[in-house]
Chain A
């Protein structure tokens, strides 16, 4: 895909990064367990809360990566 096509479709490969958080929290067998607990909180809870933060960081990365591309090509 050249740059023009990519702009036309509105797609960026950076968006794949957004899928990571979706997969990580939608498969309960991964995280439906008590151990390892953290300050008394079972894994099930702190794991999912941690993904809220990781998800926000990933989204910020995608924002900056795709935003600078826009600025670079569209002024």
Chain B
């Protein structure tokens, strides 16, 4: 690997010191009693439109996204751009569903999606299914954030044999764990503001400076192999790349706001109006993500893939090294430090929110539901804080000792798993028509079918359905959630006939402002 880039490293460390200070100071921001779970885990539900914009943006557009989407464009071409329709579709969903979820959660002090399902459908086993799915889908996602951090630290030339090379990442993670423990959701909310400013500066610098260096966008696209510029036109009797593109965008969009960390960031808003406004403001991040996807093509045009000085990086990190290599190639060292800090801090913000979300799920829907129903609010908060440490430690151990590829596989599987909570959570916000046991059976069928398709497709998320001689390759999450819904709809009238339904503790008025 190359020598240590001291200028970049100094800027990187200085920015990390800044956000560390900010993370601890955040405990005093809009001060509340951090001994209560909704204060620690949801920031007291006090974030207005602007802070919510930074928080949700920092939460959803993760470091891994900023590394992996351009890496996919670099390696596979146009298919990577599915991230753009995906991030377009999520906002109508946010607009229509989540103000209602916010209203009912505020009214009943729900902190997790499983709290809502428990109250709405009155079935603790269904709530447990939602809880376990949420935790299982989140864990590898936290681990993946570390991959983003690992790549930029490696790219600055900080490396070493065995555990020694991982010390910077361990330090970053200990810092993360400490300020999350003390400040709760206020820490990532305040850090997200710094992170987003850095990310925007980096993205726009890259989109302006690199094309000038490379002689214009037309020249860049001319340098990309023709097969990568557009989707392959499907042959006869198959929906081909078109089907994959559409189902990936739609399935990922439906899954996104079911992730516990998405719901945590949304429920922390101060009103349903703040959420609606953000549905119109958050596309600012989508636009930037689209521009960043193009950076994958810039990296092809700049020829970093075949440059000898980056060979070791590509060998170690694969295509994920494309973005760091391009930055090293195109920017002065001090700005490389800014860009890498943006990615590194961009890993910590979602990792903090994810660990808070997973900890809240465990505390509310496993500990309080099944182990100690009499836990006081103060006990709830202290359990959640400790669980957030365990969750992060687990992710760290995972990334240090298990090949990165496993975290990637599990995160891909996580999307297929989390989407199975769609009928209970997302549709449950609009209707109580479904039978609670039918929802649980539908969840089970969807989950088993999803895992089976994932394995049958050699641990990839795209499975080819064949039907009357036609092939439909597409995202298993979408196929299996349709199966899940069909099961729920067929079983609901049958199971309703068998016996009474549990009480719904929410009423229609709870869902309105």
Contact = CB atoms under 8 A, between A and B. Distances in A.
Interface of A: 7-8, 10, 15, 18-19, 21-22, 25-29, 32-34, 37, 39-42, 44-45, 48-49, 51-53, 55-57, 59-60, 62-63, 67, 70, 74
B178 interface: no
Contact of B276 (A10, A21, A63): A63
Which residue, of B92, B96, B219, B291, has the highest number of chain A Cβ atoms within 10 A? B92
B95 A42 contact: no
A27 B246 contact: yes
B92 A63 contact: no
B286 to A, nearest CB: 5
Contacts of A60: 280
Contact of A40 (B89, B216, B231, B512): B216
A63 B277 contact: yes
A27 B88 CA distance: 13
Contacts of A22: 88-89, 92
A57 B287 CA distance: 13
B512 A10 contact: yes
A55 B88 contact: yes
B48 interface: no
Interface in B89-112: 89, 91-92, 95-96, 100
A53 B283 contact: yes
A23 to B, nearest CB: 10
B287 A39 contact: no
Contacts of A49: 84, 287, 290-291
Given A21-B89, A32-B242, A70-B513, 11 more contacts: A18-B92, A18-B95, A28-B241, A28-B242, A40-B218, A40-B220, A40-B221, A48-B85, A51-B88, A52-B290, A55-B92
B280 A63 contact: yes
B349 interface: no
A64 B291 CA distance: 28
Query: Closest 9 CB pairs between A and B?
Result: A40-B218, A40-B217, A25-B85, A18-B92, A56-B283, A60-B280, A59-B280, A28-B242, A48-B84
A7 to B, nearest CB: 8
B60 interface: no
B234 to A, nearest CB: 9
Contacts, number: 114
Interface string B219-234: 1110000000111010
B245 interface: yes
B276 A25 contact: no
A1 to B, nearest CB: 16
B508 interface: yes
B231 A28 contact: yes
B273 interface: yes
A67 B217 contact: no
Q: Which of A15, A33, A39, A42 has the most CB of B within 10 A?
A: A42
Nearest to A40: B218
A59 B100 CA distance: 17
B158 interface: no
Contact of A52 (B220, B229, B286, B513): B286
B511 A10 contact: yes
B95 A62 contact: yes
B279 to A, nearest CB: 5
8 contacts: A21-B89, A26-B249, A28-B242, A32-B233, A42-B221, A44-B78, A51-B85, A59-B92
A15 B216 CA distance: 40
Contacts of A67: 273, 276
B281 interface: yes
Choose among A29, A32, A34, A44 the residue with the greatest number of B CB atoms under 10 Å from its CB. A32
B65 interface: no
Nearest to A25: B85
Contacts of B511: 10
Interface in B186-220: 216-220
Contact of B508 (A8, A62, A63): A8
A40 B219 contact: yes
Contacts of B92: 18-19, 21-22, 55, 59
A26 B84 contact: no
